[in-house]
Amino acid sequence: MLANPWIAALSALFLWWFSTGILLWRVRQADNAGREAHLWSVLLGLPLLFAGVLGFLHTRGDASLTGIYGAFLSALAIWGWIELAFLSGVITGPNRSPCPRHATPMQRFLRATGTILWHECLLIATLAIMAMQAQGAANRFAFYTFMVLFFARISAKLNLFFGVPHINTEFLPTTLAHLPSHFRHARMNALFPLSITALTFATACWVERAVTATDPGQSTGFWLLTALTALAALEHWFMVLPLPDQKLWRWMMPAPAPSLATPQPDLRKEPTHGL
């Protein structure tokens, strides 16, 4: 049953929705409790990271159906802990102040890079280590999963920087209150069509590999990647279409503490000049 393409796709969809919801819920809970709670979230979440690393190392040589699902889950666990550390304000970047409105495009880019620098360095280092460890392995799907998440996230961040019509900042914690000042509202930017094209092409490539694979485990792995990449493309469309994607998780979020209530961030609304 686990080899069924629909089961694989629904599993990826559920894990994407559930893991995102749990992450946002924990960050909101810590936000209500105070800054020390964010640090404790990251420390108490270390078993998730260790489980992901051990799972990745263990499944490299296991190309069975169970090994494929284990590799997929391991990559999500590693990615989830790194994102928790970022949203908690523990691993972000050297710049923790809002971007001045008079900043030039280059200054804004450098300041935006500074807000996420350590986080991006950690992601790049993790991706490189996973690539080396997966070299020649029978099961490389943990690496493929992390790779899809990495490049989709880089693309999303660049689109937010260059400008998109819809920017959801509802779930941003106080630890990242300065982040939206580096975003831009715009009708379109030159990167967005390229991002959608690349994600659509990647999805089609995964489908082709899933259909032509002769091994059930390999086929299931590529169907998982197909669903994950398609979801990444959907998240990009959320930035340009007026769809209330925040409703997917809003119902499970605790209300923010009254003392943490802040006005909506002052996002830039300059005309976009593409790349």
Q: How far apart are CA 119 and CA 193, in angstroms?
A: 26
Helix 105-134 × helix 46-59 angle, to 10°? 50
pLDDT over 70 (residue 180): yes
Give the pLDDT confidence of 26-78 residue by residue, as tens digits.
Answer: 999 998 888 789 999 999 999 999 999 999 999 999 999 999 999 999 999 99
Q: Which pTM was predicted?
A: 0.91
Q: Count of alpha carbons within 13 Å of 194, Cβ hemisphere only?
A: 11
Give the pLDDT confidence of 233-271 residue by residue, as tens digits.
Answer: 999 999 998 877 778 888 778 877 766 554 445 555 544
pLDDT above 90: percentage of residues in the chain: 69
Contact 71, 122 (CB under 8 A): no
pLDDT of 101 reads 84
Give the pLDDT confidence of 129-169 residue by residue, as tens digits.
Answer: 999 999 999 999 999 999 999 999 999 999 999 999 988 88
DSSP-derived secondary structure for 203-252: HHHHHHHHHH--SHHHHHHHHHHHHHHHHHHHHHHTTTS---TTHHHHTT
pLDDT over 50 (residue 274): no
Q: How far apart are CA 138 and CA 230, in angstroms?
A: 25
Q: Where are the domains of the chain?
A: 5-255
pLDDT above 70: percentage of residues in the chain: 93
Question: Which two tokens mark 266?
Answer: 């002052």
